[in-house]
Structure 1
């Protein structure tokens, strides 16, 4: 196990699978005590158990990012178990693809609540706890879709773009408050996760490529999909105290997708 985050307490939302689980595992491997927060009890408990089996420090907390009461309860659990919070990773999110004119208002509101309101609530309630704990870092997992438009993703793009700007406002306010809390955003591109798998069959072809790999080959200049560890490494970089002068930044981790010319996008 590493030691870069020894003594740090980290809360990661949406940590039962995919990017969130990768982030939680990497923090634990680097010495942090991690709270895996998710609505998925079975996979969340299993992920926390796996971290402990590998020698790490982790607990699972059933957590709905869209609920104020849930945030308050998870913070109380974390403080009771570990004494405070140093790092928050607002990772929970999701997309319900649909053309704008076909999208129900319910789906529009759900996606904004999940992707944007959830991070707002996290920063609102966790920032004072990080301050009390001596300062630290918040990393919001936005998306490449928060930087560039995607067909069939009006609500998701709007929410993730809003999260980018919410991050900057929070960074500014915390800097003015001199509370030693930095806030930055990560913008993943196409990553091999169950979330991407729900948008495709994720079946392997004769060459061992998945549908996600094939899609990445079309839209990412590097011609392959990323993995959760690629995002986790970026999150840990922004969260570490060595990078004390980085706040309000947005880090794209998308294999160059954002710089690809329009004709590279097959929609």
Structure 2
């Protein structure tokens, strides 16, 4: 079972918002040709509504009457809000980006929410599981798995975290772990359809993987036996022409070890060996009457 893939990213709404000002000037702007008119009492009153021109601070700010000042105040005093409120704000903003399939920005906002280290475990669980979902869509399955694991440490029975963790294990081909997570989730809700479907899929893939491992081990064992039989059948010798004697080389000897033997001589810069099958007629005839030494 797979989560749906995200669509292509939509156009940046901020760019289109800024482009409007190239053809649509701001209606509330001040005109340099109308300074005399602006010196009237009515215009002076308008000036004082702008934070830059205010002569005194307002005791109470009405967002409808002074939207610019209210915006500045929210920025200045944002850090004074409780960590829970800040974390919730980041969570809500992350959810908006998640709905727009902008998962990278969603991850950033959920991360900022977790950095607030608020004391509400339920809120932190949501931040972890939501970030895991965004990481999943980005293909960061291991990061997503780390997040749902952290969420389950705070709330072991959080079903969404279990479901997303099982999905991550499937993507990472940890089929046995996926089965375990599904089983744990089904203990929480025995009728959870996603877990039931994943349990069947993960178990099937686990059995297939185990079968493939067994086949690979048998194949490797067979190949190893064939190599050992071949080494037993093949005999390697080098000849001491001065004495007309042969030296049998152990199968596991290296070329360097043989070249360092005191009775081995290299001719025309090329090492030479005699390789034959032990029980072949040629080998029997060739060795007949020759003295053979064992190289140690």
Given the two structures, how large is their TM-score scaled by the length of structure 1?
Answer: 0.25
More strand by share: 1
